[in-house]
Amino acid sequence: MRFNKVLEDIKTYEAGKPIELVVREFGVKPEEVVKLASNENPIGTSPKVAEVIRQNAEKAHLYPDDSMFELKAALAAKFDVREENIIIGAGSDQVLEFISRALLNESESVLMSAMTFAMYEIYARQMGAKIVRTPSYEHKADEFISAYKAHKPKIVYICTPNNPTGDATAKEEVLRIIEAVESDTLVVVDGAYMEYAAAKDPKYAIVPNDLMGYENVIYLGTFSKAYGLGGMRVGYGIAQGSLIKELYKMRPPFNITTLSLAAAIEAAGDNAFVETSIALHQEQIVRYEAFAQTHGFDYIDSYTNFITYLFPDAMDSTKISDALLRRGVIIRNLASYGMNAVRITVGTARQNDIFFKHFAEVIG
């Protein structure tokens, strides 16, 4: 069968390996597997949210409230915006897909940093759009502005904090890029890890209201990281009503589930869980920094719930990741990004102990 030509240039997204695979292939006991590959919340699901999911189990035969009124009201209150400014997706991934389908075609291009969230490229390629990247993985305003002027892309992606590198872009720099872009180009500010950056340094904190004055900017957030709901698939986009109205034309009905909706409504009000998650993270990430220093390699200062280790030539990220995998420790190899580096989600104290032990053995 002949598929659409655009598919020839698309590499399937490589998700973090699941626990089941390690159990099956390497015979590691499930309780001994440590998964630090997908930036999930290591604390797990908030008990309050888990209880709500259980209570809603018997409503699984009902379609969810398609207006998502309660969830939008909760987000509107949290971010001091109106319901008409919000669109909900099955993960913020789905909002990225709506954006791509609403704006791109074969004659358009998109602009992003040298190394950033893989789905921007995949969704753009699905529409046949061209990909333009800045030279640096960091989001440098000067690089973005000159690439914007040279290529006039339809969408500019700013991932801050950035995945898979972990660095963040100061609010001032983000606004400088936005100011340089004309109104026919959409700027996407993807704040999937914003809660972690905001807690580390307010200079990097961006809230939707910082961007609401621009008709061509959308802020994306997710319940998958700090809120601990990766498995529920809920994310959101916040922008001026005129933009949200167009994106709604791309949305299938009932795009999140009855259980996901109930979980997200509960999670949106559960600030204590987010605070606990961030406190644990801050306590544990310093161990990763010290570990790198002890073993003589570099890392990128992280504003996210993961850390990126940069290896010297004598250490091979693929060999190290594979050796760890056989021991039941799943991390993310960044070789496919052309980097001799690994990305590790900062886990619980116990998970991190296991990681450090195996890692030291593997490199020793």
Of the pair 85, 345, the CB lying nearest ligand PLP is at 345
CA distance 299 to 53: 38
Chain position whose Cβ is nearest to ligand PLP:
91
Output DSSP code: residue 250. G
Q: Least CB distance from residue 364 to ligand PLP, whole Å?
A: 32
Q: Least CB distance from residue 318 to ligand PLP, whole Å?
A: 22
Candidates 117, 148, 204, 219; binder of ligand PLP (CB under 6 A) is 117
CA distance 70 to 347: 32
DSSP-derived pairing of the beta strands 217-222 and 235-238: antiparallel
Candidates 159, 218, 226, 262; binder of ligand PLP (CB under 6 A) is 159
**Interface with ligand PLP, residue 190, by CB under 6 A:** yes
**Interface with ligand PLP, residue 93, by CB under 6 A:** yes
Q: Which residues contact 4 (CB under 8 A, 6 or more apart)?
A: none
Q: Least CB distance from residue 233 to ligand PLP, whole Å?
A: 6
**Residue 4, token pair as written in the block:** 């659409």
**Residue 44, token pair as written in the block:** 């797990």
Binding segment for ligand PLP (CB under 6 A), chosen from 75-83, 139-147, 218-226, 310-318, is: 218-226
**Interface with ligand PLP, residue 108, by CB under 6 A:** no
For the beta carbon of residue 8, count every other beta carbon within 10 angstroms: 8
**Interface with ligand PLP, residue 163, by CB under 6 A:** yes
**Interface with ligand PLP, residue 169, by CB under 6 A:** no
Greatest C-alpha distance within the chain = 57
How many Å separate Cα 201 from the centre of its chain? 19
**Interface with ligand PLP, residue 121, by CB under 6 A:** no
Nearest Cα neighbor of 68 from 82, 48, 46, 83 is: 83
Q: Least CB distance from residue 222 to ligand PLP, whole Å?
A: 3
- Which whole-number Å values give the CA distances from 180 to 147, 169, 214, in the listed order? 11, 16, 12
User: 69 φ, ψ to 5°?
Assistant: -55, -50
**Interface with ligand PLP, residue 92, by CB under 6 A:** yes
Q: Least CB distance from residue 190 to ligand PLP, whole Å?
A: 5
**Interface with ligand PLP, residue 235, by CB under 6 A:** yes
**Interface with ligand PLP, residue 277, by CB under 6 A:** no
The enclosing H or E element of 361 equals helix 349-363
Interacting residues toward ligand PLP by CB under 6 A: 91-93, 117, 159, 163, 190, 192, 222, 224-225, 230, 235
